[in-house]
Amino acid sequence: LQSMGLNANEEACTSVEDMAAHYLPLIEPLMDQPMVITGLSFGGLVAHEMGRLLNARGKKDVSVVLLDTQGTHDVEARRMIDVVDLPEFRDKLVRFNGTYPGIDDAQIERYFNVYNQNRLAVRDYEVPVSGARMAFIQARSDLPRPFLHETRAYWRSRTEGDFSVKLVRGDHWEMLETDELKIVKMVILQELDAIATASELEAAHG
């Protein structure tokens, strides 16, 4: 699943709620089995909303795995999130391997628009509490420990289900590009096993 608007003639979704509503029908064929929804960074917010909606609709064998998704109770800090200009975005795109041979200005413009729309979606999303279980994988980076603890506590407060945390080395952008990917895989498989086992026990006991 990827953000709408990255391809030509696609209309972008402009809120986390709209994105979740758009993606859920796409995974409808998988609804009859245990499901782990995973999102990196901003994608974790969308994964959270999808898991929350599914749980509220009665799907209990669903888990959400957040890959270094940021969150804070500081409303003012969130309100300060704003768009970036094109030069800054181009710099980010190069630094984080977002370019490829032959990429044209029109594609970069679409990436730029979606990126800024997603930033505004973060600002405007009042993260609700979910009943779905959650696993939070956090990059240690070089961030202050109080900040890391605060972020973990924030996500703990956003679920009424089981909650676990796994720390990985490196920073936000390296999580899927180093050996830490093995930890991500392990956590996802553990979550899948946990919800599958819980579903089997529930079925056995009626």
Cα-based distances in Å from 123 to 46, 70, 79, 88, 149: 13, 12, 6, 19, 21
Per-residue model confidence as pLDDT tens digits over 97-145: 788 888 999 999 999 999 999 999 999 999 999 999 999 999 988 889 9
Burial 10-48 (b: 16+ CB within 10 A, else e): eebbbbbbebbeebbeeeeeeeeebbbbbbbbbbbbbbb
d(CA 134, CA 120): 24
Matching residue, tokens 């279980």: 133
Per-residue model confidence as pLDDT tens digits over 34-82: 999 999 999 999 999 999 999 999 999 999 999 999 999 999 999 999 9
pTM for the whole thing?
A: 0.93
Cα-based distances in Å from 124 to 62, 80, 86, 113: 25, 11, 22, 17
The confidence score (pLDDT) of residue 142 equals 84
Single out the residue of 106, 115, 48 nearest to residue 82, CA to CA.
115
Matching residue, tokens 């979704």: 13
Per-residue model confidence as pLDDT tens digits over 141-164: 888 999 999 999 999 999 999 999
